[in-house]
Amino acid sequence: MGDHDGGTEAQGMTPRLWAACTLAVLLVVLIVYTAVTIPWHRPPAPRADQLAALGQLPADQVARAREFHAALRPGAYGGMAVGLAGALLLGLTPLGSRLVSWAGRPFGDHWIAQAVLGGLLIVLAAEVLTLPFAAWRHSIVARYGISTQTWGAWTVDVAKSFAVGAVIGALALLGFFTVTRLAPRWWWAFGAAGAAALVVLLSFVLPVVVEPIFNRFTPMAAGPLRTSLMELAARDGVPVKDVLVADASRRTRAVNAYVSGFGPTRRIVVYDTMLTEATPDEVVSVAAHELGHAKRNDVLTGTIIGALGAAAAVIALYLLGSLGWLLRWAGVGTMGEPKAIALLLALVAIAGLLGGPAQALISRRVEARADAHALELTGDPAGFESMQRRLGTVNLSDPDPPAWEYAMSASHPSTVERMAAARAYARGER
């Protein structure tokens, strides 16, 4: 069982040996590139300053934030566990392959129907399993006043999210299984290149095409704040096309701002909630942080890391096709047939879970560097600390989360870490 190399090559290496060597090279490149581009040294944020900042936050706000996160945890981790269990059930038993076959049966078991409709059916089954946990989360964020969405609006967003994922997934699966049919022995090479290209394409396309599906964007009215933000970007040497306001208040009270797009499409986006909740200096502080990402090409760096990781994942999946016991568990003959979709997704789910802490660590380091950039650009540690306090209060962030949860999933430094970094900067510590 498994993908066959057709015996030993008459001359040279077999496709499987080529794949193993290519995977090794990709992993070395990925590790070296990550080591070189990720800022492993973070700006100082002394624990004594963190504790002092925590002690100065209103006790009732800290208690409410911790109560909020305690209420979220059962649903969050329960959904994660059920989602993983569902993926393993579909992927490591013949159930998933049977669902794919069932989806293609009305179309004469055509491989395109199996690839597209079977893939959508597998993803839909996984979504249905975790939907109650997503609804539970919505009920909690609504109860605590973070979400402003009705159940109807929330349902529409869930449907939009699934539709966007379905279109992207269908195109990816169609391309993948086209390659496995046209190049059954070398699909790992073409598939790896295609996966990397898809990651790069989505990085450019998603901000322009997908963001407007969920939010409406309008140019920020001319005035002192818009002028300050454009001057800030010019002073930082980051070309920005426009400053937009997102109608985030349709779904949330949370405040945020970000820089989106590349080159001629780059724009500063500010939530309308921030305009009502934060002071102009605080908005400038958040924009300076986001400009730090653009200045350091963090999105491009993340895209390259993602592309290398996607290429390596495709090759690893090809090599796993030599494990006959794994294919027998899944009820498939090779990794390159549509009936293996559930197995592929199960392996991706396992890899995502195992790689989560490393991704969170990298993200925290990048975010800490952007914080340092904001402090340098604005020269306003008081405004930065005020903004972090505002973000934590309005968004109900746990200012000092449990160490295990922080290590597992925190994509940003904690509120007290960021406040401590501002205090260290004000003392001249770098």
Write down the catalytic residue from 371, 385, 400, 417: 371
Could you tell me how far CA 91 lies from the centroid of its own chain? 23
Amino acid at 352: G
Alpha-carbon Rg for the chain in angstroms: 24
Rounded Cα distance, 241 and 264, in Å: 6
Rounded Cα distance, 180 and 185, in Å: 8
Q: Would you state the structure tokens that stand for residue 222, as one six-digit string? A: 């001319």
The answer to whether residue 371 is catalytic is yes
> In 10 A of CB 63, how many CB atoms?
10
**Tokens 């598939």 — which residue?**
191
Binding-site residues: 289, 293, 367
Q: In angstroms, how far is the first alpha carbon of the chain from the final one?
A: 58
> 376: alpha, beta or left, given left = phi > 0 and alpha = psi -120 to 50?
alpha
Binding-site residues for Zn(2+): 289, 293, 367
Rounded Cα distance, 288 and 376, in Å: 9
What φ, ψ does residue 409 adopt, rounded to 5°? Answer: -145, -5
Closest by CA to 285, choosing from 398, 406, 370, is: 370
The answer to whether residue 109 is catalytic is no
Write down the catalytic residue from 290, 337, 400, 417: 290
Per-position b or e across 8-21, b if 16+ CB within 10 A of its CB: eeeeeeebbebbbe
Q: Which residues are catalytic?
A: 290, 371
